[in-house]
Amino acid sequence: MGVQWYPGHMNKARREIEEVMTQVDIVIEVLDARIPDSSQNPMLSTLRGDVPVLRLLNKKDLADKARLDLWLDHWRGNDRILAHPFSTLDKSDVAKISQWVGQMVPHRGTAEKPIRAMIAGIPNVGKSSLMNALLGRRVAKVGDEPAVTKAQQKLKVTNGFQLLDTPDILWPKIENPDASYRLAVTGAVRDTAIDYEDVALVGLKFFMSDYEEALTTRYKLKELASDPYDVLKVIGSKRGALRSGGKVDMHKAAEVFLNDVRTGAIDPYVMETPEMIAREELLVEEAKAKKEAARQAKLAAAVPQRQRANNRAYRDAQSGKPDENLDDNQ
């Protein structure tokens, strides 16, 4: 992945989250509405404990409402989670935050006892935009590249409501390779993370199966080829992504398509459903179990081997034979 999540960095984030959790009444978790599961930070979900979370499915203007409803239903049973489709560009959404937060933390919310909230989320989901919108001024740098905000921001009190530092950059779901592709398609991870053409082809395959009409409308296609590669070629040629000699430049074609997908030039979409994520989670667990079983088998095989080597060395030592494993030059 282009944005690297180092173990040291992850441990630092863990400590920060653990510490901040003791100081907040609520977490405002900003998600990308187009990938409601993959844009969660797995550590935040576990370390949150009993602290309630307001999940803002941000960039709702780019998301398919019917699919968002599936997620709202999915989380509805959990009284620690309140989820709403959201846009930092929509003033009435921003105005509702204090009401939503108050709903989750009814025992606080006065000047003496403000609700202490923390805004958290993976790169590029709109945390800085949200802070700026909430505070009614530009306090945080906004950018369309992931990980624009590098230093932590200290933030102020508004009426009955206090924003705490966001923890250092939080990473998305990284165990699931399909999730990585979806993060790349929507632009949550840097372009260099995975091969650009591959990302576009994964995106196209998804649109071909789930939002065919969005594609045919956007690119005025009469019919769709069955292979995403061929579809990308057609898109490239229609949109002038050509090299000298008139051949389609597939990299340029990928850029054109991904730019449309990321900026909302194509119909709204959501790449994940709760059912699909449950299926993928099972696969991830199975793959993990397989890997662990292979590791154990290797260990088990190594023990008798090591034992035999030890026995041999012991016997050799007894008989005064030199150790074959010792290099004379050392």
Ligand X SMILES: Nc1nc2c(ncn2[C@@H]2O[C@H](COP(=O)(O)OP(=O)(O)OP(=O)(O)O)[C@@H](O)[C@H]2O)c(=O)[nH]1
Stretch that binds ligand X, among 8-16, 123-131, 198-206, 293-301 (CB under 6 A): 123-131
Choose among 22, 23, 42, 20: nearest CA to 31. Answer: 42
- Measure the CA dihedral 104/158/48/168, to 10°: 160
- The residues in 138-177 that bind Mg ion, with binding defined as CB under 5 A, are 148-149
Q: Is the CA virtual torsion 220, 226, 230, 231 positive or negative?
A: positive
Min dist. Cβ of residue 88 to ligand X (A): 4
Residue choice 125, 202, 235, 241 for contact with ligand X (CB under 6 A): 125
CB of 169 to ligand X, least distance (A): 6
Binding mask 104-133 for Mg ion (x = CB under 5 A): -----------------------xx-----
Spatial distance between the Cα atoms of 184 and 306, rounded to a whole number of angstroms: 45
Whose Cβ is closer to Mg ion: residue 142's or residue 174's? Answer: 142
Among residue numbers 44 through 63, which ones bind ligand X (CB under 6 A)?
A: 58-59, 61-62
**Cβ distance 277 to 37 under 8 Å?**
yes
Question: Is 129 an interacting residue with respect to ligand X (CB under 6 A)?
Answer: yes
Strands laid side by side in the 53-58 sheet: 81-85, 53-58, 26-32, 115-120, 161-164, 157-158
* Interface with ligand X, residue 123, by CB under 6 A: yes
Query: Minimum distance between the CB of residue 249 and ligand X, rounded to whole angstroms?
Result: 26
Size of site (CB under 6 A) for ligand X:
23
Looking at the Cβ atoms of 136 and 245, the one nearer to ligand X is 136
Cα separation, 293 vs 37, in Å, equals 28
User: Residue 305 has which token pair?
Assistant: 């081997």
Tokens of 292: 């662990």
Q: Give the helix, strand, coil percentages of the chain, each rounded to 5.
A: 50, 10, 40
Stretch that binds ligand X, among 15-23, 76-84, 85-93, 225-233 (CB under 6 A): 85-93
Query: Binder to ligand X among 40, 41, 124, 176 (CB under 6 A)?
Result: 124
What residue ranges bind Mg ion (CB under 5 A)?
Answer: 127-128, 148-149
What residue ranges bind ligand X (CB under 6 A)?
Answer: 58-59, 61-62, 87-89, 121, 123-129, 142-144, 146-149, 264
